[in-house]
Structure 1
Amino acid sequence: MENNNTHRLTNTFNLLKFTFVVVPIVAGADKFTNLLTDWEQYLNPSMTGMLPFSGATFMMIVGVIEIIAGMIVLRKSEIGGYIVAAWLALIALTLLIGGQYLDVAVRDLVMSVSALSMARLAKITV
C-alpha cells in the first residue's frame, strides 16, 4: 500500500512539475510574440507610468524571468516551485490592486497554491 501511495505522490509531483516547466516557458516566450494575448493589457496603468521604459519592454523582461523560472523548476523543482508560487502571487496582487482582470488574479492565486504544493512534494518525492 505504501508503494502505491508513493507512486501516486510521484505521479502527482511529475504532473505539477511538467505544468510549471511548460507554462512559465510558454507564457514567457509569448511575451515576445503576443500570440496568446496582448500581455500589456494586464499592466496596471499607474504602474506603467512609473516604468523607465515601455510596457512592451517590461513584458519582455517579465518573459525572460518566466522562462528562467520554468528552467529552474526543471532543474531544482523545490526552489523553482517556491519562485513560481511567489511570482504568481505577486502577479495576482498587482491585478487585484488594479481592480481589473479579477478572474485572472484568482486563477493565478490557484496556480500559485499549485506551484507551492509542487515545491512541497519535491521535498518528499525527489
Structure 2
Amino acid sequence: MNSNVHVVKNILKYTFGLVPIVAGLDKFTNILTNWSQYVSDGFAGMIPFEPSTFMMIVGVIEIVAGVLVLTKTKLGAYVVSAWLTAIALTLIFSWSYVDVAVRDLVMAIAAFSLAKLSETNFSTN
C-alpha cells in the first residue's frame, strides 16, 4: 500500500509541479491558447493594463506555484489548490468558460489531495 501511495503522490507532485510551470510559461507565448480570452470584459475594464499583461503576471504566479510544488510539495499543493479554486470561482461568477471552471475545481481537489498525502508518514516533503 505504501508503495502505491508513494507512486500516486509522485505522479500528482510532478503533474502539479510541471503543468503550472508550462501553463505559466505559455502566458508569455500563447502557443497553447490565447490566454487573454479568459479575462472577462468587466474585469479587463478594471485592471490598469492590457489583459495580456495581466496574464503574464498570472504566468509568473503559476511558475512560482509549480516550482513550490516541486520543492515544498505540501505548501505548493495547497497554493495550487487555492489558485485553481480562485480561477474556477472567477469563471463561475462571470458565467464564462464554466466547463473550464469545473475542470479547474476537479484539479483543485486533486492538488488538495496531494497536499494531504504530503502530510502522511510516507512523505518526504
TM-score, L = length of structure 1:
0.95
Q: What is the SS of the residue equivalent to 2:118?
A: helix
Q: CA deviation at 1:45?
A: 1.1
Partner residue, 1:71: 67
Q: Secondary structure at the match of 2:48?
A: coil
Selected match of 1:27 from 9, 23, 30: 23
The equivalent position to 1:98 in structure 2, one of 84, 91, 94, is 94
Q: Name the count of aligned residue pairs.
A: 122
- Which SS does the other structure have where 1:37 is aligned? coil
Taking only the aligned residue pairs, the percentage that are identical comes to: 54
Query: SS at 1:34's partner residue?
Result: coil
**One-letter code of the match for 1:28?**
G
Matches within 5 A, 1:101-120: 101-120=97-116
More helix by share: 1
Deviation at 1:116, TM superposition (A): 0.3
**Counterpart residue type for residue 68 of structure 2:** I
- Quote how far apart the aligned CAs of 1:100 are: 1.1
- Superposed displacement of residue 108, structure 1: 0.2
Provide TM-score, normalisation by structure 2: 0.96
SS of the aligned residue for 2:47 comes to coil
Q: What residue number does 1:14 align with?
A: 10
CA displacement 1:76-118 (0-9 Å, x = unmatched): 0000000000000000011001111111000000000000000
